[in-house]
Amino acid sequence: MNDMRWIAEATCGQARAGHLHTAHGVVPTPTFMPVGTAGTVKAMTMDAVRSTGAGIVLGNTYHLMLRPGPERVRKMGGLHKMMDWSGPILTDSGGFQVMSLGALRKLDQDGVTFNSHIDGSKHRLTPEISTEIQHALDATITMCFDECPALPATPERIEQSMALSMRWAARSREAFIARPGYGQFGIVQGGTERELRERSVKALTEIGFEGYAIGGLAVGEGQELMFSTLDYTTPLLPDSHARYLMGVGTPDDLLGAVERGVDMFDCVMPTRAGRTARAYTERGTLNMRNARHADDLRPISPHCDCLACSRHSRAYLHHLFRSNEILGPMLLTWHNLAYYQRLMRTIRAAIVAGNLPETAAKLRADWAAGDW
Ligand SMILES: CO[C@@H]1O[C@H](CNc2nc3cc4c(=O)[nH]c(N)nc4cc3[nH]2)[C@@H](O)[C@H]1O
Ligand SMILES: [Zn+2]
């Protein structure tokens, strides 16, 4: 097999459908990656994740390096065997998690020194260390080690941070060990500053990667600014490579980002919502703790084949969450991930059929129509 590659199948406006060919299998895009932060998609067995139709999952270098640690992951046969997932795994590089999780951290030109949020122990991440850990984890897709500046930030701060991330991208690429079917993605930075985004894309495409991520977004800037940043950033990226929008998003975010040329997504929303009684459906979201569900014998969604919808009722989910039963978060996480995968399949089919505008209008109308 050659290096990992994304092969286009169809376009509809800026939107693209294609396949990501990897050493661990082929993934149809657009695709949504369930978040498996610490080597588990929270509240899900991997059989359940597979049943939703997920093709690729995400892991986090930051969490896995702290616990169980790369050496123990290796002793368990590597991340794929440890998790019971033979498909592709994309690992984030740790910088974002350090900045958003690490209690105490010191950023310097060479990397980041931080104390574990678990036990306070001292650790260091650099482009080389992060890339080596991702290699030890046998990540199918390795992410560059970057710095994602917290917003709001001055254009000067964004520019300094982007320039640092581009230097770190070159060092990450230098440390990457190329293997057939494996790849490394560069991460575009530059906040919501058009000229900085353009410079970042130029720097990354001159280095050359198997795919490109758009970072520095979904950090509180809001959907309008995220979309306007995508409007001028995705068209600058090579048509022949996969594009991954990090940390996004709601169903409406996913649809709008696919319309702007994005192929890959990851977000904690469907799994986090599943644990907090929030159900995603074709008609918007439901709070399963709400008393109005107490006697409702209908499934969460009539269009869903997940275990919650095929075997149980809204009344049962309501009962489970009111009783704080562990089965509640399990079933609702399963449902939310099944909904996200069904949504991506619907969007993908519309791109291939050439009717994404009509399908998008129907999706938005249904979300606005409210519960059945
Ligand atoms: C605002 O909600 C919080 O934010 C996260 C989602 N938003 C997000 N933006 C990201 C940007 C980057 C980046 O620039 N670089 C790297 N390496 N990884 C990233 C990961 C990201 N995730 C969720 O954790 C959620 O809790
Ligand atoms: Zn369901």
Compute the distance between CA of residue 347 and CA of residue 342 in angstroms, rounded to an integer: 9
Compute the distance between CA of residue 48 and CA of residue 42 in angstroms, rounded to an integer: 11
Summarised one tens digit per residue, pLDDT across range 279-302 is 999 999 999 999 999 999 999 999
pLDDT of residue 245: 99
Which whole number is the average pLDDT over 22-50? Answer: 98
How remote is the CA of residue 313 from the centroid of ligand 1, in Å? Answer: 34
Which whole number is the average pLDDT over 73-78? Answer: 94
Compute the distance between CA of residue 294 and CA of residue 63 in angstroms, rounded to an integer: 38
Is 146's C-beta closer than 6 angstroms to any atom of ligand 1?
yes
My answer on whether omega of the bond before 249 falls inside 30° of 0, hence cis, is yes
- Is residue 112's pLDDT more than 70? yes
Q: What are phi and psi of 282, to 5 degrees?
A: -65, -15
Residues 6+ apart with CB under 8 A from 245: 213, 214, 217, 218, 230, 257, 262, 264, 265
At 86, which amino acid appears?
Answer: S
Tell me the whole-structure pTM to 2 decimals: 0.98
By most ligand atoms within 8 Å of CB, the mutation choice from 117, 148, 268 for ligand 1 is: 148
What DSSP character marks residue 151? S
Which whole number is the average pLDDT over 17-22? Answer: 98
- Is residue 3's pLDDT more than 80? no
Q: ∠ at Cα 216 (273, 152), nearest 5°?
A: 95
CA distances from 337 to 34, 72, 227 (A): 7, 29, 24
Quote the mean pLDDT of the chain: 97
pLDDT of residue 2: 66
Is 188's C-beta closer than 6 angstroms to any atom of ligand 1?
no
Which whole number is the average pLDDT over 301-310? Answer: 98
- Cβ contact 15:259 at 8 Å: yes
pLDDT of residue 147: 96
Summarised one tens digit per residue, pLDDT across range 318-359 is 999 999 999 999 999 999 999 999 999 999 999 999 999 999
ipTM: 0.98
pLDDT of residue 103: 64
Residues 6+ apart with CB under 8 A from 112: 95, 98, 99, 102, 105, 106, 124, 125, 126
pLDDT of residue 151: 77
110 is catalytic: no
Beta bridge partners of 27: 20
Which whole number is the average pLDDT over 93-108? Answer: 86
- Is residue 99's pLDDT more than 90? no
Is 62's C-beta closer than 6 angstroms to any atom of ligand 1?
no
Compute the distance between CA of residue 244 and CA of residue 249 in angstroms, rounded to an integer: 12
For atom 13 of ligand 1, the residue with the nearest CA is: 215
pLDDT of residue 102: 61
- Is residue 212's pLDDT more than 70? yes
Which pLDDT band, with edges at 50, 70 and 90, does 200 fall under?
A: very high
Q: Which atom of ligand 1 is nearest to the CA of 94?
A: 17
